[in-house]
Amino acid sequence: MTVSDPFGARLRRAMDTRGPLCVGIDPHASLLHAWGLEDDLAGLERFTRTTVEALADRVAVLKPQSAFFERFGSRGIATLEKAVAEARAAGALVVLDAKRGDIGSTMDAYAATYLRADGPLFCDALTVSPYLGFGALAPAVEAAKVSGAGLFVLALTSNPEGREVQRALREDGTSVAAAMLAHLAELNADAGELGSFGAVVGATLGDLSSFRLSVNGPLLAPGIGAQGATPADLPVVFGEAVRNVVPSVSRGVLRHGPGTTGLRDSAARFADEVRLAVG
Give the pLDDT score at 3. 67
Residue 193 lies in a domain: yes
The pLDDT score that the predictor gives to residue 192 is 83
Boundaries of domain holding 226:
7-274
> Would 143 be classed as within a structural domain?
yes
Q: Is residue 1 part of a domain?
A: no
Mean pLDDT of 186-210: 95
Q: At what angle do helices 41-55 and 73-89 cross, to 10 degrees?
A: 10
pLDDT in tens, 217-231: 999 999 887 778 899
- CATH code for position 55: 3.20.20.70
Give the model's pLDDT for residue 193: 84
Under DSSP, is residue 39 helix (H, G, I), strand (E, B) or coil?
coil
pLDDT of residue 152: 98
Give the number of other Cβ atoms within 10 Å of residue 42's Cβ. Answer: 11
Q: Is the pLDDT of residue 94 over 60?
A: yes
Total structural domains within the chain: 1
Q: Which of 125, 122, 94, 111 is nearest to 194 (CA)?
A: 125
Asked if residue 119 belongs to a domain, the reply is yes
Q: How would residue 214 be classed by pLDDT, with cut points 50, 70 and 90?
A: very high
To the nearest whole percent, how much of the chain has pLDDT over 70? 99
Q: What angle do CA 166, 147, 8 make, to 5 degrees?
A: 55
Active site residues: 99
Task: Note the pLDDT of residue 2.
Answer: 52
Is 93 a domain residue? yes
The average pLDDT across 86-115 equals 98
CA 177, CA 184: separation in Å to the nearest integer? 11
**pLDDT at position 229, please?**
87
- The mean pLDDT of 158-163, rounded to a whole number, is 93
In a domain, 2, yes or no: no
pTM value surpassing 0.95 = yes
CA distances from 11 to 14, 39, 96, 165 (A): 5, 33, 14, 29
Tell me, yes or no, whether 252 lies in a domain.
yes
Residue 91 has pLDDT above 90, yes or no: yes
Q: Is residue 271 pLDDT above 60, yes or no?
A: yes
Is 49 among the domain residues? yes
pLDDT digits (tens, 9 = 90+) for 235-268: 999 999 999 999 999 999 999 999 999 999 999 9
Q: CA-to-CA distance for 196 and 189, rounded, in angstroms?
A: 11
